[in-house]
Amino acid sequence: MLTSSVNVSSSVKLIEVNDPRAFVALAGEWNELVAARNDQPFYRHEFIRSWIDNFAPAAKLRVMTLRNERGRLVAVLPLIEQRTALYGLPVRQLVSAGNDHSNRFDLVAEDDALAGRLIFRHLVEKKIGRDTRALYLTHYAGFPGPARAMRALADRHGLVLIEDCALSLLSADGPQPLGALGDVAVFCLYKSLPVPNGGALVVNGNRPYVFPPPTRAPVASTASHALGSLLQNLELRAGTTGAAVRRLARRLGRGTVKAAHIERVAIGSEQFRRAHVGLGMSALTMRLALSQDFDAIVARRRRNYRYLVQELGDVAPPLVESLADGVCPLFYPLVVKDKTPVMQGLAARGIETVDLWRFFHPACNPSEFPEVARLRDTVLEVPCHQDVNDRAIAHVAASVREVVLACDRPRRVVGAR
The predicted pLDDT at position 373 comes to 82
For domain 294-408, which architecture applies? Answer: Alpha-Beta Complex (3.90)
What is the arithmetic mean of pLDDT over 136-152?
Answer: 93
Letter string b/e over residues 300-338, b meaning 16 or more CB atoms within 10 A of that residue's CB: bbbebbbbbbebbeeebebebeebeebbbbbbbbbebee
Looking at residue 70, its pLDDT comes to 92
Span 25-35, average pLDDT: 95
What is the tally of helices (H) and strands (E) in the chain? Answer: 11, 15
Where in the chain are the domains? 3-127, 129-211, 219-290, 294-408
CA–CA dist 156, 150 (Å, integer): 10
pLDDT in tens, 171-181: 999 999 999 99
DSSP run (H or E) holding 157: helix 147-157
> Does the domain at residues 129-211 carry the CATH identifier 3.40.50.720?
no
User: Band of the pLDDT at 358, cuts 50, 70, 90?
Assistant: confident
CA distance 182 to 204: 7
Q: In DSSP terms, which residues pair with 94 in a beta bridge?
A: 81
97 CB-contact burial (10 Å; exposed 0-12 / middle 13-18 / buried 19+): buried
**Bridge partners (DSSP) listed for residue 335:** 379
Work out the mean pLDDT of the chain and round it to a whole number.
83
pLDDT above 50 for 166: yes
Rounded to an integer, what distance in angstroms lies between the CA atom of residue 330 and that of residue 353?
12
Number of Cβ atoms within 10 Å of the Cβ of 341: 14
* pLDDT value for 375: 85
**pLDDT level of residue 185 (50, 70, 90 thresholds):** very high
Over residues 355-367, mean pLDDT:
78
CATH architecture, domain 3-127: 3-Layer(aba) Sandwich (3.40)
Tens digit of pLDDT for each residue in 289-347? 999 999 999 999 999 999 999 999 888 777 888 899 999 999 999 998 889 999 999 99
CA distances (Å), 366 to each of 53, 87, 362, 363, in order? 20, 16, 9, 10
Interval 86-105: pLDDT, tens: 656 676 778 888 776 666 77
* Res 405: pLDDT: 92
Angle, CA 333 vertex, CA 302 and CA 384 arms, to 5°: 40
Q: Is-above-0.85 flag for pTM? A: no
Distance CA 84, CA 86 (A): 7
Nearest one of 366, 357, 290 to 330, comparing CA atoms: 357
User: Which DSSP helix (H) or strand (E) runs through 80?
Assistant: strand 73-86
- Say whether pLDDT at 107 is over 50: yes
Tell me how crowded residue 56 is: count the other CB atoms within 10 A of its CB: 17
Q: Which residue has the higher pLDDT, 218 or 255?
A: 218
Residue 270: pLDDT above 80?
Answer: no
The amino acid at 277? V
User: 186 with 337: CB under 8 angstroms?
Assistant: no
pLDDT of residue 415: 47
- Distance between CA atoms of residues 72 and 68, nearest Å: 6
CATH topology agreement for domains 129-211 and 294-408: no
305 vs 298: CA distance, rounded Å: 11
